[in-house]
Amino acid sequence: MSTSYIHERAKKWTAADVPDQTGRTAVVTGASGGLGLETARILAEHGARVVLACRDRPKAKEATARIHATVPGADVAVVRLDLASQASVRTAAGELGSAVDGIDLLINNGGVMEPPYEQTEDGFELTFATNHLGHFALTALLLGRLRERPGSRIVTVSSEGHTRGSINFDDLQFERGYDPDGAYSQSKLANLMFTYELDRRLRAAGAQTRALACHPGIVLTDLYKTRSTLERAPLNPWLRPLNFRFVQSVRMGALPTLRAATDPSARGGEFYGPGRSRGYTGHPVRVESIPRSHDTDAQRRLWRESERLTGVTYPV
C-alpha cells in the first residue's frame, strides 16, 4: 500500500519559497546531521534563530560550524536532547523554556530506524521511545511556548514506512518478539496519529498553533547505519544517474519538512511528502496517509496510553 497524492497546479516548491523567518525561533530535534541539519540550515538562511536539539553535543557543535560556514552570522544555539530518555526530554524542555521568549516552529525530526532490540532507562523499546514517546512528551512540555506565538507550527517527520505500520496496543514495546521493521513502521504510524489528534485538540481549544506531518521520501542518511553495506549501496548518491527515481538528496528530502513548517498555504492536519515515484522522490506536495492513520478511536487510545507512559498531560 502506498501514500496517495493530492494533485497541485502550483509550481514546484523549493527552498527559495521559504518565506522570511526573521524574528522567528525554530527548534529542530536530531539536527546534528542529515535532514535535521539541512532543515535548520535553510531556516537559518532565511533569518530564523535555530536551536539544534541533539543527543551528541560535539556533533551538534560541528553542525553549528557547518551552518555558520554557509550562513555567516546565523543565530544558532544547541540544547542536549536524548529523545530516548524521558529525564533528558524534561531537562531539555526546561532549558528551552528559559532560553527563548517563544517558539514559532517545533520540528520533531530526530529518530532511529531498525536498531537492535534495546530497552531504554524508562523500560520502553528504543524505537517507540525515541520516535514517538520522546516527541510526544517534548511537544507537551513546549506547547505553552508555542502557543505564545501566533501562527506557530509543530511539524513531525513520519515516513513512507507508516504504510506498513499498525499499532499493537497489546504489545507496544515488542516484549513478545522484536521485529525491527515492525517497530519502525509502528512508530512512524504513531507520528501521524499523534499529529492528527494534536491538531484536532488544538482547534477545539481555539489555539492558533497548528500540527502538521511530513515524510522525506528515500534519502541516505545516518538512519540507515544499521543496514549492511550491501543494503545501503543502491542508495549511494554516487549512483544518482541510476537511482534517481527512488532516492533523493538530503536537500530535496528536507523540502517536505520546510513546506509543512513555512508555506503560508499549509493547514493544520496536512501531510506533505515527495510527489513523484510513489512518494520516493520529487518536490513536496500534499499527500494522504493510509486510512488506519485516521482512525480517531485509535488516535485517542494512543494518546491516552502515551500520556500514561510518559507522565505528561497536555493542556489541550
Residues designated as active site:
184
Which letter does DSSP use for residue 221 in this model? S
- Helix/strand number for the chain, H first, E second: 11, 9
Supply angle C-alpha 68, 35, 143, rounded to 5: 90
Cross-strand bridge partners of residue 4: 288
Phi, psi of 51 (to 5 degrees): -115, 120
Q: Determine contact, residues 226/257, Cβ cutoff 8 Å.
A: no
Cα dihedral 114, 116, 119, 125, rounded to 10, equals 30
Instruction: Please give the Cα distance from 97 to 144 (Å, whole number).
Output: 9
User: What ranges make up the beta strands (E) of 131-183?
Assistant: 153-157
Check the CA dihedral 233-237-238-241 and report its sign.
positive
Distance in angstroms (rounded) separating the CA atoms of residues 63 and 44 = 12
Contacts of 266 (CB under 8 A, 6+ apart): 153, 212, 259, 260, 272
**CA-wise closest residue to 250 among 49, 41, 77:** 41
Q: Which amino acid is at 301?
A: R
Question: Are the C-beta atoms of 24 and 49 separated by less than 8 Å?
Answer: yes
- Residue 169: C-alpha distances to residues 128, 172, 192, 238, 305 (Å): 12, 5, 16, 42, 9
Query: Three-state SS for 105?
Result: strand
